Amino acid sequence: MSAETAPSSFTDRRRARVAGYGFAALISVRNYASLYPPSIMLLTIVPRVLLQTAFVAYLGYYAAGVPGRTFAFIGAACQIMTTATVAKGADAILDERVHGTMYRVRLGVLAVPGTIAARWLVYAAEGFGASMTAILVLAVPFGGTHLLLHLLAATPLVALLALTTSAFGLAVGSFALSYRADVLIVNFATYAMLLLCGVAAPTTVFTVGGINLPRFLPLTNGLLAVRAVVDGRPWLGDAALEVLVGGAWAVVAILLLARQDRRARRLGADDLL
């Protein structure tokens, strides 16, 4: 009898976990909607997305003419998502420490990484929307209709970048959880990606011992794939590397959360410094 009911019990538990993660994601969406109603998004988020993308594109134009402008525009349009997927998304975990409720997440029946990741999805969606907004509004002025059409063809890669940069953001947020300088850490990570990941200039300058270090960060390989699509070159290899790098950072995030859990249980607090 138990052998017959075990599969059903396992299926029920799995469905319950999926429903739990779905509920966590829904609550995150409702919280996001309360913080960022349409009026706030139109008056603050959209102008920032467009102005920052245009600014970086003009830097590329100043440095290398029209080719530099196109290069920088593609990078900036994709990098703009990190404001959501790395900087803002970290609130999904850091708010628990600020409000002293992280222990409730740990005591729940759902895995902490899964719960945080479910909350993060709304920021991944914002990041994807931010990049697509920059592409739809600015691609034609900065590169013509052909650039817009090629970038629209790369939309699945932009969605992939929203997920891989979210994995990196989760790792950064998990590390920052122990430190009261979390705002500094998260913003440092965001600007490091702007500098290192080939947004406005090639990453060859950061090659050490024949190893291109930015390749180990999300966004770098994905940008190479997007630019390959625009140029009509093979892109699958770079996209596969982006998946691998994003997966590696997701594993790092899980390990950091497990380490923080052990430390918090031992010390009775989440704050280290």
Per-residue confidence in pLDDT tens, the chain, 273 aa: 444 444 457 688 788 888 888 988 998 899 899 989 999 999 999 999 999 999 999 999 998 899 999 999 999 999 999 999 999 888 778 777 777 777 777 777 788 888 888 989 999 999 999 999 999 999 999 999 999 999 999 999 999 999 999 999 999 988 888 777 788 899 999 999 999 999 999 998 888 888 899 999 999 999 999 999 999 999 999 999 999 999 999 999 999 988 887 777 776 666 654
What interhelical angle do 145-153 and 112-143 show, nearest 10?
Answer: 160
Instruction: Note the pLDDT of residue 8.
Output: 59
Instruction: Note the pLDDT of residue 59.
Output: 93
Instruction: Note the pLDDT of residue 109.
Output: 79
**Per the structure, how many domains does the chain have?**
1
Query: Quick check: is 272 in a domain?
Result: no
Instruction: Note the pLDDT of residue 2.
Output: 47
pTM: 0.90
Neighbour count for residue 30 (Cβ, 10 Å): 11
Q: How far is CA 114 from CA 226, 239, 257, in A?
A: 29, 24, 11
Q: Three-class SS of residue 263?
A: helix
Single out the residue of 139, 158, 141 nearest to residue 149, CA to CA.
Answer: 139
Query: Quick check: is 273 in a domain?
Result: no
Instruction: Note the pLDDT of residue 96.
Output: 77
Query: Quick check: is 103 in a domain?
Result: yes
Single out the residue of 224, 257, 258 nearest to residue 242, CA to CA.
Answer: 224
Q: Is 116 left (phi over 0), alpha (psi -120 to 50) or beta?
A: alpha
Instruction: Note the pLDDT of residue 272.
Output: 55
Determine the structural domain holding residue 143 and report its residue range: 2-267
Query: Quick check: is 137 in a domain?
Result: yes
Q: How far is CA 180 from CA 88, 117, 186, in A?
A: 16, 22, 11
Distance of CA 146 to the CA centre of its chain: 27
Single out the residue of 100, 88, 86 nearest to residue 35, CA to CA.
Answer: 88
Query: Quick check: is 83 in a domain?
Result: yes
Single out the residue of 98, 45, 232, 51 nearest to residue 154, CA to CA.
Answer: 232
CA distance 188 to 172: 10
